[in-house]
Amino acid sequence: MLNELVLKNKLKSINGRDYAAYQSLRGEYDFSNKFKLIIHQIPKDPYAPPHTGIYRVLVTRGDARIVNFNRGSKTQEIAFKDYLTRRFYEACVKVSRSGRGTGYSGVITINQPGQAVLDRNCIITDEQVIEVRCFLGMPASGRQINSELAEVMLLEELPQIVESALFDENINYEELHRHVKTVEDQEYLRAKLDSMGMVAFVAEKSVLPRKSGTSDQPMNNDSMIPFTSPESLRIEIELPHAGLVLGMGIPKGVTLIVGGGYHGKSTLLNALELGCYNHIPGDGREGCASISSTVKIRAYSGRSIVKTDISPFISNLPYKKDTTAFSTENASGSTSQAANIIEAIEVGAKVLLMDEDTCATNFMIRDSKMRQLIIKDDEPITPFIDKVKQLYSEKQISTILVLGGVGDYFDVSDHVIQMLKYEPVDVTRNAHEISGYFHDKRTPEVDISSFRIKERIPLPQSIDPRNKSGKKRIYAKEVHRINFGESVIDLTDTEQLIELSQTKALAYALDYARKYMDQKLSLTQIIDLVMKDIETQGLDILSDQISGHFAEFRSFELACTLNRLRGLEVIQKELESK
């Protein structure tokens, strides 16, 4: 194996040469037996984005100089890796900086973590080794190599970052164990909800508001109001580390979150929406949990739909267009929302979250005046208000719905929570009393037929990752946008995606899923197989090239990605029950 001196001499020999000469550095280097550096992949252009280069730092877990943490479960290991990722990223920010030359020159970084604790492949661990996959923007002036700065980066700054993030003497073990225990408590809490008859929980003193509309970090000012639960909905849960925790439990069934504008309705819903993830200590939402099969639903005009049975909500379209196998390249608000619900049910959703601000009004309700003007025979939409109770009674699918202007939903609600100056108040009794005052109660517009989910079989030839030149073209530069072959997949309405690294992993997972498409397995079965492979073999299974830019995602987001691929072809089949 080569050493630091060899690397230094190589750098001196290429000073001033064309940027492509950096390729000569590829190889393995031993840094004074402290760590091993594998220069695995170097971009051929100083303007190439960080994900195109991979530098692998390996340390031995048995080395007394290296952080010592004995993993006992997968949850603990994910939390440990997440903690190290954050330390490495923070050390990079302190030690290195960009702008020291052309393009990305001078930067040392790692896949930036957000507020959630996710399994990422920027750090890989096993019994013997901790491997960090980072990026170095090798410095250049124009396209000419700057070896002097490269020496500083590789031989001074990188070792300083490694020591700061991974060496035992620099680890705050109290902080590390708090990080791990916080994640374990959240996992335990989420797993307990179903047996308690709950779909979500928000702990007392949680901080739900965020710093701004563009930041996921907690609000931290004097006007911030910690969460307090209404006594009627207050429950207690004994957590493994935090002990007895009090908070608001949201029971199964139909729950409305109501209130005036700017009183915190959507803020609460957003916390529930992201309650499927674990959060870091200090985030404010460590005590917020939703069951794992919670899916946010909204309308999104313009999306494509492929042979989805939306007939429970929409039927009798003009010109006899079939809605039991509905397809369109340009969905309306109502058809997109109907498809989003059916697709979520298809892959196992048990809780639907909706905010009236992002829902199609004509899909949610038709008031009495409109029903008199437009008779049912001329209206193909069965509004959600007429199906929401059936979803629970027939499919055990709960709904949590934010409302500010539609009181008719009181009639079909099990629980009503009013947000008043960011504090929740249980107004269920009041809402039901108000509902009882009206003698002309709303009746369903049609006979309620049973939900029959028709599963679909994806055809592999319709999922083509190649561009016009026949080369594989898969990448993501934005959280809600994937470039796949000649297609662009718009994931704007997939609101539970929170990191770009998830989107990058989804892009490759879509290609990986083709291996299971044999024209027999359903979309749900295929996604289950992909998720099982990731569970047992890790995120690296998604690509034949080493990557440090993938993060875990849920089966629901993979289904959303597949369903939004324009050109997707499926065979539809009906199941007796689902």
**Residue 475 domain-assigned?**
yes
Same domain, 306 and 425: yes
Q: What is the pLDDT of residue 578?
A: 41
State the Cα–Cα distance between residues 86 and 31, nearest whole angstrom: 23
Q: What is the pLDDT of residue 485?
A: 97
Q: What is the pLDDT of residue 440?
A: 67
**Residue 190 domain-assigned?**
no
**Residue 255 domain-assigned?**
no
Q: What are phi and psi of 293, to 5 degrees?
A: -95, 40
Ranges of residues in the chain with a pLDDT under 50 are 576-578
Among 171, 190, 210, give the residue marking a domain's end.
Answer: 171
Q: What is the pLDDT of residue 449?
A: 66
Among 151, 171, 191, give the residue marking a domain's end.
Answer: 171
Same domain, 6 and 140: yes
Same domain, 154 and 106: yes
Same domain, 134 and 7: yes
8 Å CB contact between 351 and 400? yes
Domain count, the chain: 3
Amino acid at 225: I
Mean of per-residue pLDDT scores for the chain: 94
SS3 of residue 395 by DSSP: helix
SS3 of residue 138 by DSSP: coil
Report the relative pairing of strands 243-251 and 198-203 from DSSP bridges: antiparallel
The dihedral sign for the CA sequence 178, 179, 185, 189: positive
Same domain, 305 and 417: yes
Q: What is the pLDDT of residue 411?
A: 93
For residue 225 the two structure tokens come to: 């109001």
Q: DSSP states of 282-322 as a string?
A: TSS-TTEEE-TTEEE----TT--EEEE--TTTB---GGG--
Range of the domain at 530: 454-574
**Residue 426 domain-assigned?**
yes
Same domain, 477 and 428: no
Same domain, 467 and 432: no
Q: What is the dihedral of CA 263, 269, 275, 277, to 10 degrees?
A: -100
**Residue 251 domain-assigned?**
no
Q: What is the pLDDT of residue 447?
A: 58
8 Å CB contact between 61 and 167? no
Q: What are phi and psi of 499, to 5 degrees?
A: -135, 145
Does the global pTM surpass 0.85? Answer: yes
Same domain, 18 and 167: yes
Beta-ladder partners of 217: none
Q: What is the pLDDT of residue 577?
A: 42
**Residue 218 domain-assigned?**
no
Same domain, 430 and 462: no
Same domain, 139 and 166: yes
Same domain, 22 and 126: yes
User: What letter would DSSP give residue 472?
Assistant: B
Same domain, 408 and 528: no
Number of H helices, E strands in the chain: 14, 30
